């Protein structure tokens, strides 16, 4: 087994590496740059500071009534109707929780932000989170991830979560790492970012186009493998972070994107924007 993308043979990993190198050189194609420029022209007022801190998710507190510990800064589960939580608010809640070593509160805040209104009473959001919160050793796992961010890297912290907590996959533990990374000073490497199915499919589209053009992956099978919908390897997460950091610099050098924008603004814009990579 490959220790990078869980490959079945060296040749397949070599081809994936070749596509990764090409993507690192080419970065975002013109179609993506144009789509992101349009997105920014329509959303610049909401993100004037160059961060996605204002990105707000709506949730229904009463649907999470069975979840404890409940962060005090979230709307009370007795709250009638919906409430909102922005990235900036989630980051503040997580920072406060980490200072108190209330790791479960930090997790709950990131999970509610990640699920939003898709969490229904007894449904996949609250029910899944409740199961996660009962896992023995959860506090240790969360604390270790935060320590690993400060002593090693986002890739190492990601690797430490893999397969550790049943039901807690990378789409959600990268959210925990992302918000923890707003408080923790990393020892090395880029800041953690959210990686979920939507973003993986975006990178898959880019990789497929590069693979076809270079001949490294003419049928797209390598891109489908490494940028699958879930269970990305730590190596793949590191590739993602490196690509996003470089692509953010690429955008910042253009006149249609804020020069001081953070990589997580690009992450959110990619999540919210669609285009055809082959355009």
pLDDT in tens, 5-49: 754 566 999 999 999 999 999 999 999 999 999 999 999 999 999
Q: Domain for residue 78, yes or no?
A: yes
| CA dihedral of 249, 252, 258, 261, whole degrees rounded to 10 | 0
Q: Give the number of domains in the chain.
A: 2
Q: Domain for residue 1, yes or no?
A: no
Write down which residue in 156, 180, 204 finishes a domain.
180
Same domain, 96 and 144: yes
CB atoms within 10 A of CB 70: 19
What whole-number percentage of the chain has pLDDT above 90?
88
Q: What is the longest distance spanned by two Cα atoms in the chain? A: 58
DSSP string, 215-267: SSSTTSHHHHHHT-SS---HHHHHHHHHHHHHHHHHHHTSTTS-TT--HHHHH
Radius of gyration of the chain (CA): 19
The parent domain of residue 151 ranges over 56-180
Write down which residue in 180, 212, 229 finishes a domain.
180
pLDDT at residue 169 is higher than 70:
yes
**What is the chain's mean pLDDT, rounded?**
93
Q: Domain for residue 3, yes or no?
A: no
Same domain, 153 and 111: yes
Kindly state the DSSP code that residue 25 receives in the 8-state scheme: H
Q: Domain for residue 4, yes or no?
A: no
Same domain, 28 and 66: no
pLDDT at residue 224 is higher than 50:
yes
pLDDT at 8: 56
Same domain, 63 and 175: yes
> Would you say the pTM of this structure is higher than 0.75?
yes
Same domain, 26 and 120: no
Using alpha carbons, select from 213, 239, 225 the residue that is nearest to residue 20: 239
Q: Domain for residue 176, yes or no?
A: yes
Write down which residue in 133, 152, 180 finishes a domain.
180
pLDDT at 182: 96
Structure tokens at 91: 């980051």
| Residue showing tokens 């249609």 | 256
Question: What does the pLDDT look like over 38-90, one tens digit per residue?
Answer: 999 999 999 999 999 999 999 999 999 999 999 999 999 999 999 999 999 99
For 187, residues 6+ apart whose C-beta sits below 8 A from its C-beta are 149, 150, 151, 152, 153
pLDDT at residue 204 is higher than 70:
yes
Same domain, 75 and 161: yes
Same domain, 38 and 69: no
> Please, where are the H alpha helices in 116-195?
124-133, 138-151, 154-161, 170-180
> pLDDT-based confidence at 113, cuts 50/70/90?
very high
Q: Are strands 83-86 and 56-59 parallel, antiparallel or unpaired?
A: antiparallel
Q: Are 199 and 270 in contact (CB under 8 A)?
A: yes
Q: Mean per-residue pLDDT for 183-190?
A: 94
Q: Domain for residue 187, yes or no?
A: no
What whole-number percentage of the chain has pLDDT above 70?
94
pLDDT at residue 186 is higher than 90:
yes
């Amino acid at each position: 087994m490959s220790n990078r993308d869980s490959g079945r043979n060296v040749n397949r990993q070599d081809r994936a590496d070749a596509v990764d190198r090409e993507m690192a050189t080419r970065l975002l194609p013109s179609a993506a740059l144009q789509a992101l420029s349009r997105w920014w022209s329509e959303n610049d007022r909401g993100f004037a500071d160059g961060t996605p801190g204002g990105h707000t998710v709506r949730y229904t507190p009463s649907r999470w009534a069975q979840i404890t510990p409940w962060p005090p800064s979230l709307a009370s589960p007795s709250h009638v109707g919906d409430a909102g939580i922005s990235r900036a608010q989630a980051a503040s809640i997580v920072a406060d929780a980490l200072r108190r070593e209330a790791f479960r509160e930090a997790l709950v805040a990131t999970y509610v932000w990640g699920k939003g209104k898709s969490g229904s009473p007894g449904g996949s959001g609250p029910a899944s989170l409740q199961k996660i919160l009962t896992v023995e050793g959860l506090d240790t796992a969360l604390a270790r991830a935060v320590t690993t961010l400060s002593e090693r890297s986002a890739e190492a912290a990601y690797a430490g979560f893999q397969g550790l907590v049943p039901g807690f996959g990378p789409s959600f533990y990268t959210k925990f790492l992302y918000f923890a990374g707003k408080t923790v000073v990393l020892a090395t490497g880029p800041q953690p970012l959210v990686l979920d199915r939507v973003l993986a499919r975006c990178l898959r589209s880019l990789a497929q186009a590069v693979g076809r053009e270079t001949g490294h992956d003419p049928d797209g099978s390598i891109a489908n493998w490494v940028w699958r919908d879930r269970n990305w390897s730590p190596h793949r997460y590191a590739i993602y972070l490196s690509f996003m950091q470089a692509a953010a610099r690429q955008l910042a050098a253009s006149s249609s994107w804020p020069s001081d924008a953070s990589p997580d603004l690009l992450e959110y814009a990619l999540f919210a924007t669609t285009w055809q990579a082959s355009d």
